[in-house]
Structure 1
Amino acid sequence: INIIDTPGHIDFTAEVQRSLRVLDGGVVVFDAVAGVEPQSETVWRQADEYNVPRICFVNKMDRTGADFSRTISMIRERLNGNPIPIQWPIGQESDFRGIVDLVTMQAYVWEDDDLGATAKVMDIPDDVRETVELAHHEMLELVADTDDELMAKYLDEDEISVDELRAALRKATVTGKATPVLCGTALRNKGVQRVLDAIVYYLPSPLDVPAVRATAPRTDEIVLRHPSDEEPLAALIFKIVTDPYVGKLAYFRVYSGVLKSGDSVMNTNKNRRERIGRILRMHADRREDVTEIHAGDIAATLGLKQTFTGDTLSDSNDPVVLEAIDFPEPVISLAIEPKSTKDQEKMGLALRALAEEDPTFQIRTDDQTGQTVLYGMGELHLEVLVDRMLREFKVMANVGRPSVAYRETITQKLEKVEGRFVRQSGGRGQFGHVVISMEPLEPGSGFVFENKIIGGVIPREYIAPVEEGIREAMSSGVLAGYPVVDLKVSLYDGSFHEVDSSEMAFKIAGSMAFKEGMQRGKPILLEPIMKLEVVAPEDNTGDVIGNLSANRGMIEGMEMRAGLQAVKALVPLAQMFGYATRLRSMTQGRGTFTMEFAHYAPVSDSIAKDILSGKR
């Protein structure tokens, strides 16, 4: 069994995203005191997107304020899940000492003196028997709701065996109809053993998972790859790690076929051949050399030169491209420079290595100042990356203050925008002429390019260069050089010269047309809006709400949670720098907050003027 641990902080959402892409099942861990937190909602939504079956583990049952039933209700209400408790706690808070398995109706009690190394299997204690029997019947009813055969036996009051119950639970979990819920306290090893059993009982093996869909690059047809060693190779690279001792490690999941050390395979995304070096099975504290990896398994390999996260490795005789991993765009930036000129090259190498590992980390150079600017998912994300640069690559750097990663877009539809590039300097010249239309799209739509050329007014070989020129121009908008998003460009007319036209000429013409359209399309600035949740004592709620409102926040709701007030709001990222200090002051250190990216929204005219004039 491959178990991948992912960080809970929202700044490291890429780790969750790429892991869910290649896993067959998940264990979602909840805090028994806090219940469903904002990070839980994000991870749950990501698991839904990838159709990953999951079980839940309610942790920290020994903490003051722990409430198993409340956490179950929150999973049902806030996550729209169908949680089915298959365990029940014996005791709660400091009295928590074990669990009852509602499937087998056996109790497991752990002693404190050996940190959960041994569990006593015993009859259900009298003080919880009535509650447990009620929970057992509720579990039977919930499971029966997902299975017609089991429902018939339940209604007829026939005996349902443990094997039948487990089979029905497994089927409901694999199909996404239900989520088994367990509990315990990981710190004291109470209940974690049963989680491992539940992974085996209820989560799918690679053979239970449907065939993956892939695209045949030669025909653009959809093909299926089944989890079988007999099928052609299809493997997805989902993580790159730079190791100081062995170099670049590429983690992969084999969906079909067998990958062997020494194989020559095709990187279908890059259309380049790669030779597989050593193959390593990764354990928590060691690596194991193996000669081959079979369908359904996960491992890492050394020696790949041109392969990065999201690339497909496949059989060169039967190539396919697997669905790539979608990562969110970064929303925060900071400028960085080496402390000495001798560190300039080292810093460049270090940043490139870190960017290879993390697809949500981007490096750009400011065209006007020549500064290196880092882009990431949040302040903590960039802090960790800068710290790694110092620790792992020994690069000393001066780091600027974090700033917002604004975007630009247009607000007006343009029917006709021309770009004409003509250059004559003796001999063969350059000629490219394009006519495009541009229109704004809904927030989050990204960029859409449509080729409407008919009759060959622009030859086919020049269409892709036009799109490439437009995409390059989008990296720097006309207002303040921010990337351009959320618009559609249609190429519908133009002309060419038999001798002077070239791919470069049409690339430049496409770029010229786009920049002209940006000038005429009433461009605006967009800013990242963050989804914020603040948890604070009820006495401080007024101050928290007042401060958020004063910082352009929009309050979305409030709820009581374990004696504290949780305030949900949408707030511009620009107003959130230093919020931890402000909240600490307002709540005397008793408040906490979590924040994640929600969407981009237009900046008001007055604030846009301040941004463009450099006041913000």
Structure 2
Amino acid sequence: MKVYQTNEIKNIALLGSAGSGKTTLAEAMVYEAGIIKRRGTVEGKNTMSDYFPVEQEYGYSVFSTVFHVEWNNKKLNIIDCPGSDDFVGGAITALNVTDQAVILLNGQYGPEVGTQNAFRYTEKLQKPVIFLVNQLDKEHCDFDTILTNMKEIYGEKCVPVQYPIATGPDFNAVIDVLLMKKYSWKPEGGAPIIEEIPADQMEKAKELHATLVEAAAANDDTLMEKFFESESLTEDEMREGIRKGLVTRSIFPVFCVCAGKDMGVRRLMEFLGNVVPFVSEMPKVRNTRGEEVTPDAAGPTSLYFFKTGVEPHIGEVQYFKVMSGAVKSGDDLTNSDRGSKERIGTIYACAGANRIPVDELKAGDIGCTVKLKDVKTGNALNGKDCEWRYDFIKYPNSKYSRAIKAVNEAETEKMMVALTKMRQEDPTWVVEQSKELRQIIVHGQGEFHLRTLKWRMENNEKIKIEYIEPKIPYRETITKMARADYRHKKQSGGAGQFGEVHLIVEPYADGMPDPTSFKINGQEFKMNIKGKEEIDLEWGGKLVFINSVVGGAIDMRFMPAILKGIMERMEQGPLTGSYARDVRVIVYDGKMHPVDSNELSFMLAARNAFSAAFREAGPKVLEPIYDLEVYVPADYMGDVMSDLQGRRAIIMGMDSEAGYQKLSAKIPLKELSNYSIALSSITGGRASFTTKFASYELVPNDIQQTLIKEHEAELKDED
């Protein structure tokens, strides 16, 4: 295989809803390029893309698949991404390391929620978009309606390059308004028959050609001048205008294919090779120091590892993009993230489950290698005098969480090793060992996502696991001031234990002035502050500890022990055993013994005094509240709002965005537990949502009482 230069390389992501035909299109593309001799099918479980057992079991893509085709002396690196929103990590990774998105639409349904999500990600990353209407041979396909819907959602930027003469089972021909030719196919597909446009299609073709010419000319002043003069452009000028329009996202070309019958695929690949922007034409990535990294083959060598695959009999396969310079087998590089040295073994061009050895890969190219010692997803390997690192891929917050446990507790450690390995393959799986909740929690993108993890754990790793509803990380705080004291006294022969602590607790909020006096039960307590500590608690909120002891009632050396005792009780609130937060504690008096007082005595005295005061200070339970955004078709808005109100959500606003309604709300984490399943059920899978932690708020009284009773029952069970 030849070594391709940076200006001969194009990187493309295939995106779209589940069922839009991405895997089938990928199969047709590698077949057309001669990489495979026979096309497989999803039903036959023999495609180049979906080759992992879990994908064949469920019949949908779980992982993104990297492959390449050589076409017209260009190298097209293509990443086939999963369509389900549960596996969005693959799509986001792909978009970050490619320069062009091809978004497939199912010809039966047109724009779907997966289309919307994919487009939204391209918008955030400012990536060029080509729309591809697939499955034109399906009974209910209506290209004109799909195009109308696309323009309503994405605007007049959607410009057809082709349109079908007929759709449904009779589909076998398109009119290409860029080349002004008719393309038709025999039943077996493949190479097209290219003919002049029939007379009955000429008027429509000319009209769409004029629209395409104008859209292409709008991206270049010189082309626009020529268009005004002659109202036409040459094919090369149109390609140049479209390329510039793709880079600036001012044009979204629309193509037609029937990937299952290999119709239109070859023409699509010609367009990708001739018109899609090169790596060098796209905005540059920045490293963690904010410096632009130019894809220059003569620059310092820098590889970014964006994906890890674990394959039977091989182990880890590491996929990388050459950000700068060039890489050859045998190169010695340094891992700038981990500080370790690596020698690159054989490097490969990717072809799904297959790998083609290559001599060298230049800046902008994508490849893979195996048997690296210490490289993880997200790491960078650099040559001499280069220490670049990258963190430009940002994944969405998790939407679905479950506590996970091995059925056989002896396999817990083995399970954790497997989870760590799986997270290398899919960074949107987040594993949390919660000391607070005493659970191992797996966070994912949806129920489907976690079900897949369970299948792999039980079938690939042979570890039986079970999911449990995760506990909620409640917090406790106080709502009023209270005072308490406690004397710890113990005599058991020899030196005893003695410590007495008097303290006041009150709710704390940022910016509160320091206390000067308190009036409790008619008695005034004046504060003379000797010391103050503001502690940012690792679980959120603050503890403010004030020493106001006068007259040497408690020696200064015992203050750290008093604070330690208070912190111990902050970690286990009296109502539900949850962490406490936003409390100010003023120690104002106490007693000590010249012989029996020690750190342990004051720690125990402070702990008990704090517990007593906390219980008298109007303790309340707080629950985590999340910001929720739901993207939903207008038809389902009423049902979605009704469901949210039943989940104690507060609707914050509604807006229209790209043909969908966007609903904003605040919702307790407890009510989000099964929301992804419920939303999918209500909308037939046509809605999506995002969440982000917002704040802690007081729970309603009836729920607080339920939580307290549940905690009391747990304590009895432990006894």
Q: Taking structure 1 as the reference length, what is the TM-score of the superposition?
A: 0.72
Report the residue type matching 1:387 in the other structure.
W
CA distance 1:523–1:359, change in 2 (3 Å): farther
Kindly state the Cα deviation for residue 311 of structure 1 after the two structures are TM-superposed: 1.8
1:312 and 2:380 matched: yes
Corresponding position of 1:373: 441
CA distance 1:159–1:133, change in 2 (3 Å): closer
1:58 and 2:124 matched: no
Work out the CA distance in 1 between the residues paired with 2:346 and 2:463.
Answer: 30
Corresponding position of 2:466: 398
| SS in structure 2 at match of 1:99 | strand
Work out the CA distance in 1 between the residues paired with 2:214 and 2:476.
Answer: 54
Kindly state the Cα deviation for residue 275 of structure 1 after the two structures are TM-superposed: 2.5
Deviation by residue 1:102-148 (Cα, 9 ceiling, x = unmatched)? 1111011223x32x234222222344332222111122222222222
| SS in structure 2 at match of 1:78 | helix
Farther off after superposition, 602-611 or 313-322 = 602-611
Work out the CA distance in 2 between the residues paired with 1:477 and 1:193.
Answer: 66
Kindly state the Cα deviation for residue 47 of structure 1 after the two structures are TM-superposed: 1.8
Deviation by residue 1:255-312 (Cα, 9 ceiling, x = unmatched)? 1111222222122223332222332322024112334322111111223333222222
Q: Structure 2 residue aligned with 1:122, among 171, 183, 195?
A: 195
Corresponding position of 1:606: 699
Kindly state the Cα deviation for residue 591 of structure 1 after the two structures are TM-superposed: 4.0
1:179 and 2:260 matched: no
Report the residue type matching 2:226 in the other structure.
K
Work out the CA distance in 2 between the residues paired with 1:295 and 1:140.
Answer: 33
Farther off after superposition, 595-604 or 261-270 = 595-604
| SS in structure 2 at match of 1:310 | coil
1:594 and 2:690 matched: no
Write out aligned runs for 1:281-360 (5 A).
Answer: 281-360=349-428
Q: Structure 1 residue aligned with 2:294, among 207, 226, 232?
A: 226
Kindly state the Cα deviation for residue 92 of structure 1 after the two structures are TM-superposed: 2.8
CA RMSD of aligned residues (A): 4.2
Does structure 1 conserve the Cα–Cα contact (< 8 Å) formed by 2:626 and 2:695? no
Work out the CA distance in 1 between the residues paired with 2:403 and 2:431.
Answer: 10
Work out the CA distance in 1 between the residues paired with 2:633 and 2:164.
Answer: 27
Work out the CA distance in 2 between the residues paired with 1:574 and 1:110.
Answer: 56
Does structure 1 conserve the Cα–Cα contact (< 8 Å) formed by 2:623 and 2:699? no
Farther off after superposition, 572-581 or 262-271 = 572-581
Work out the CA distance in 2 between the residues paired with 1:92 and 1:326.
Answer: 40
CA distance 1:21–1:480, change in 2 (3 Å): farther
Work out the CA distance in 1 between the residues paired with 2:146 and 2:389.
Answer: 41
Write out aligned runs for 1:5-404 (5 A).
Answer: 5-79=80-154, 82-111=157-186, 113-114=187-188, 116-157=189-230, 159-215=232-288, 222-367=290-435, 370-401=438-469
Deviation by residue 1:369-389 (Cα, 9 ceiling, x = unmatched)? 643221112211111111111
Work out the CA distance in 2 between the residues paired with 1:368 and 1:71.
Answer: 51
Work out the CA distance in 1 between the residues paired with 2:214 and 2:307.
Answer: 42
Deviation by residue 1:140-195 (Cα, 9 ceiling, x = unmatched)? 22222222222222222254211111121112212332221112222232222222
Deviation by residue 1:23-78 (Cα, 9 ceiling, x = unmatched)? 12121112334333333232223223333222111223333443434444444443
Work out the CA distance in 2 between the residues paired with 1:377 and 1:269.
Answer: 27
Work out the CA distance in 2 between the residues paired with 1:379 and 1:40.
Answer: 20
Which of 1 and 2 has greater Rg? 2
Work out the CA distance in 2 between the residues paired with 1:144 and 1:411.
Answer: 63
Corresponding position of 1:550: 646
Does structure 2 conserve the Cα–Cα contact (< 8 Å) formed by 1:60 and 1:185? yes
| SS in structure 2 at match of 1:3 | strand
CA distance 1:400–1:212, change in 2 (3 Å): closer
Consecutive unaligned residues in structure 2, runs of 5 or more: 1-75, 478-506, 515-530, 542-567, 583-613, 712-719
Deviation by residue 1:387-422 (Cα, 9 ceiling, x = unmatched)? 1111221111122246778999999435799xxxxx
Farther off after superposition, 294-303 or 71-80 = 71-80
Corresponding position of 2:624: 526
CA distance 1:336–1:192, change in 2 (3 Å): same
Work out the CA distance in 1 between the residues paired with 2:471 and 2:143.
Answer: 41
CA distance 1:584–1:349, change in 2 (3 Å): closer
Work out the CA distance in 2 between the residues paired with 1:407 and 1:288.
Answer: 55
| SS in structure 1 at match of 2:428 | coil
Work out the CA distance in 2 between the residues paired with 1:230 and 1:581.
Answer: 51
| SS in structure 2 at match of 1:4 | strand
CA distance 1:567–1:18, change in 2 (3 Å): closer
Farther off after superposition, 382-391 or 401-410 = 401-410
CA distance 1:582–1:595, change in 2 (3 Å): closer
Farther off after superposition, 262-271 or 404-413 = 404-413
Work out the CA distance in 1 between the residues paired with 2:366 and 2:140.
Answer: 39
| SS in structure 2 at match of 1:526 | strand
| SS in structure 1 at match of 2:77 | coil
CA distance 1:605–1:390, change in 2 (3 Å): same
| SS in structure 2 at match of 1:322 | coil
| SS in structure 1 at match of 2:287 | strand
Work out the CA distance in 2 between the residues paired with 1:593 and 1:404.
Answer: 28
Report the residue type matching 1:3 in the other structure.
I
Kindly state the Cα deviation for residue 558 of structure 1 after the two structures are TM-superposed: 8.9
Kindly state the Cα deviation for residue 233 of structure 1 after the two structures are TM-superposed: 0.7
Work out the CA distance in 2 between the residues paired with 1:533 and 1:299.
Answer: 36
Work out the CA distance in 2 between the residues paired with 1:263 and 1:344.
Answer: 39
| SS in structure 2 at match of 1:316 | coil
Work out the CA distance in 1 between the residues paired with 2:355 and 2:127.
Answer: 27
Report the residue type matching 1:128 in the other structure.
Q
Q: Taking structure 2 as the reference length, what is the TM-score of the superposition?
A: 0.63
Work out the CA distance in 2 between the residues paired with 1:178 and 1:407.
Answer: 51
CA distance 1:204–1:534, change in 2 (3 Å): closer
Kindly state the Cα deviation for residue 253 of structure 1 after the two structures are TM-superposed: 0.1
Work out the CA distance in 2 between the residues paired with 1:233 and 1:184.
Answer: 39
Does structure 1 conserve the Cα–Cα contact (< 8 Å) formed by 2:307 and 2:318? yes
| SS in structure 2 at match of 1:328 | coil
Kindly state the Cα deviation for residue 80 of structure 1 after the two structures are TM-superposed: 5.6
Work out the CA distance in 1 between the residues paired with 2:89 and 2:110.
Answer: 23
CA distance 1:24–1:546, change in 2 (3 Å): closer
CA distance 1:227–1:369, change in 2 (3 Å): closer
Report the residue type matching 2:689 in the other structure.
E
Does structure 2 conserve the Cα–Cα contact (< 8 Å) formed by 1:231 and 1:257? yes
Work out the CA distance in 1 between the residues paired with 2:476 and 2:316.
Answer: 36
CA distance 1:576–1:78, change in 2 (3 Å): farther
Kindly state the Cα deviation for residue 250 of structure 1 after the two structures are TM-superposed: 1.4
Write out aligned runs for 1:420-569 (5 A).
Answer: 525-532=623-630, 546-552=642-648, 554=651, 556=654, 569=663
Corresponding position of 2:609: none
Work out the CA distance in 1 between the residues paired with 2:101 and 2:640.
Answer: 35
Work out the CA distance in 2 between the residues paired with 1:95 and 1:406.
Answer: 61
